[in-house]
Amino acid sequence: MSERPTTTTDAGIAAPSDEHSQSIGPNGPLLLQDHYLIQKMAHFNRERVPERVVHAKGGGAFGTLEITEDVSQFTKAGLFQKGARTESLVRFSTVAGELGAADTSRDPRGFAVKFYTDEGNYDLVGNNTPVFFIRDPQKFSDFIHSQKRRADNHLHDHNMQWDFWTQSPESAHQVSLLMSDRGTPFSWRHMNGYGSHTFLWYNAAGEKFWVKYHFKTDQGVKNLTDAEAAAWQAKDADLHIRDLYTSIKNGDFPTWTVQVQVMPFEEAADYRFNPFDLTKVWPHADYEPITIGRWTLNRNPDDYFAQIEQAAFEPANLVPGIGASPDKMLQGRLFSYPDTHRHRIGANYLQLPVNRPRNEVHTYNKDGAMAYTNPADPVYTPNTVGGPVADPELWKGDSYDVAGEIVRSAYTLHRDDDDFGQPRALWEKVLSDTDRDNMVGNILGHASAPEVTPEMKVRVAEYWRNIQKDLGDRVAKGLGVNGR
Ligand code: NDP
């Protein structure tokens, strides 16, 4: 008698054969009544859920956040109290590529973290860059369309990308970072993560602060050159998944130092930059990053599809002590992330083990496709029969005055706001000579694609001249559009 278990159907019924379909005689046609065969084929046909429209290619791991400093004066959130240890999940990804795309493509990297806190899930859905291409979600789908594939030939098209960027000057900061070697990280372990958006923190007394998160890699930032990234695309499209998985498997756990920049609530109004504009950083000299803890990745997924492909991150998951800011991109994402999960995975995506909070859920939401747990009676509120009741006290602090006319408008400019000053600081003060040479080379490689028209090359040079004249001149020269 074999020690191996008997194969079953998904209903647990013993399977008649692993190899043979039921047929009329050994050579005859197959029978519709072969339920085991039909179930196997039908389930196989449904193995894929829709891939993410953005951030389709990725990988991830589980880890632990440990808070080492006392920041209770800024937030009462349990996960950020000194000594707290919180289990977490991260998913790293590229943005524009499809499921099988190469990990080393030039692209920002998604850096989405879910913290399974005692107060419910807290998700920080960031990137490996502190800024973004646009500042109003009205432009998001247009921006992504320009990065994906053309309608006619189904090809990525650099002319289309530059057409969007050169008409969207707010993209200058993020495109600068993208065209630097940080656009092609060596591995996910060797890049920083940023919450990017500004968030609200409030303490037990209800006092408010604005914060930005920085996860600084303890492995050191390490990037690929354009040539190295291209070579890896041919050699191993899954380099970054493999690197993270192997290093955790070998017990070489990557860590990040967790920092926050904290701005007193009242300073936002008069700060020299609009602190809610996602195309801007807060210069470190203005708000020094404070170290609050350490984050370690220490466990690989054991089921990629169940734990990574079906992982659902949403910036709307904010626990008491943390709130949203008026950042327009964040406001758009508060809606769009849960909406895409409802479409992609289904209305009950939060019941899947990887997405389910570790604390108890007491909700009046019920039913829907694939409901696995449902609230017990009573199924409505208000009720007089002992159902759960909300506790507004927990959220005291999560409010602030807003007044104004309903408009469609750009942000009000703050004193030093413009689209080019911060990327200019990056070029002039932060990048080394080698970084600059590589960045010019990366831009030229990208904008020299055969589909980029001569007229577009002139606009590309102008775009970079707006950031910094020497940079623009070098791009113009390299593209052969030196005519002005
Ligand atoms: P600082 O000189 O205080 O900080 C510059 C920061 O730039 C560094 O701390 C580092 O942040 C980051 N950096 C270092 N090397 C590179 C590189 N090769 N490519 C991209 N970023 C790099 O200056 P400011 O805070 O005034 O910022 C100046 C410019 O630096 C900004 O305009 C922005 O472009 C860039 N920057 C600023 C960040 C911020 O939050 N203030 C964060 C990242 C970039 P880190 O260790 O986080 O990588």
pLDDT for res 153: 97
pLDDT digits (tens, 9 = 90+) for 103-148: 999 999 999 999 999 999 999 999 999 999 999 999 999 999 999 9
The answer, yes or no, to whether any atom of ligand 1 lies below 6 A from the CB of 216, is: yes
pLDDT digits (tens, 9 = 90+) for 334-386: 999 999 999 999 999 999 999 999 999 999 999 999 999 999 999 999 999 99
User: CA 196 to CA 171: how far, in whole Å?
Assistant: 14
Q: Answer for the pair 397, 206: CB distance below 8 angstroms, yes or no.
A: yes
**CA angle, 239 then 143 then 139, to 5°:** 140
The answer on pLDDT for 33 being more than 90 is yes
CA of 45 to the centre of ligand 1 (A): 47
Q: Answer for the pair 240, 188: CB distance below 8 angstroms, yes or no.
A: yes
> What number of other Cβ atoms are within 10 A of residue 116's Cβ?
20
> What number of other Cβ atoms are within 10 A of residue 471's Cβ?
24
Which residues have CB under 8 Å from 81's CB, separation 6+?
A: 67, 70, 72
pLDDT digits (tens, 9 = 90+) for 398-435: 999 999 999 999 999 999 999 999 999 999 999 999 99
The answer, yes or no, to whether any atom of ligand 1 lies below 6 A from the CB of 24, is: no
CA of 2 to the centre of ligand 1 (A): 62
What are the catalytic residues? Answer: 55, 127
Which residues have CB under 8 Å from 188's CB, separation 6+?
A: 59, 92, 109, 240, 243, 244
pLDDT digits (tens, 9 = 90+) for 180-224: 999 999 999 999 999 999 999 999 999 999 999 999 999 999 999
The answer, yes or no, to whether any atom of ligand 1 lies below 6 A from the CB of 127, is: no
The answer, yes or no, to whether any atom of ligand 1 lies below 6 A from the CB of 430, is: yes
pLDDT digits (tens, 9 = 90+) for 287-331: 999 999 999 999 999 999 999 999 999 999 999 999 999 999 999
The answer on pLDDT for 42 being more than 70 is yes
Confidence of residue 484 (pLDDT cuts 50, 70, 90): low
Helices then strands, counting H and E runs in the chain, come out as 12, 10
Which residues have CB under 8 Å from 414's CB, separation 6+?
A: 270, 271, 272, 273, 274
Residues 41-60 have a mean pLDDT of: 93
Residues 466-481 have a mean pLDDT of: 97
HSE, side-chain direction, 13 A CA sphere, residue 364: 11
How are the residues of the chain apportioned to helix, strand and coil, as percentages rounded to the nearest 5? 30, 15, 50
CA of 193 to the centre of ligand 1 (A): 13
Pocket-testing residue among 284, 430, 431, ligand 1, by greatest number of atoms within 8 A of Cβ: 430
The answer, yes or no, to whether any atom of ligand 1 lies below 6 A from the CB of 190, is: no
CA of 271 to the centre of ligand 1 (A): 19
pLDDT for res 1: 52
DSSP string for residues in 32-86: TT-HHHHHHHHHHHT-PPPPPSSS-SEEEEEEEEEE-S--TTT---GGGSTT-EE
pLDDT digits (tens, 9 = 90+) for 445-468: 999 999 999 999 999 999 999 999
Residues 243-250 have a mean pLDDT of: 98
The answer, yes or no, to whether any atom of ligand 1 lies below 6 A from the CB of 192, is: yes
pLDDT for res 482: 74
The two tokens of residue 341 are 């999960």
CA of 130 to the centre of ligand 1 (A): 9
For residue 421, the ligand 1 atom closest to its alpha carbon is 32
Nearest CA to ligand 1 atom 33: 426
The answer on pLDDT for 242 being more than 70 is yes
For residue 212, the ligand 1 atom closest to its alpha carbon is 40
| φ and ψ of 298, to 5 deg | -135, 5
Record the pTM.
0.95
**CA angle, 106 then 165 then 432, to 5°:** 55
The answer, yes or no, to whether any atom of ligand 1 lies below 6 A from the CB of 185, is: no
pLDDT for res 483: 55
Residue holding tokens 């490996």?
A: 128
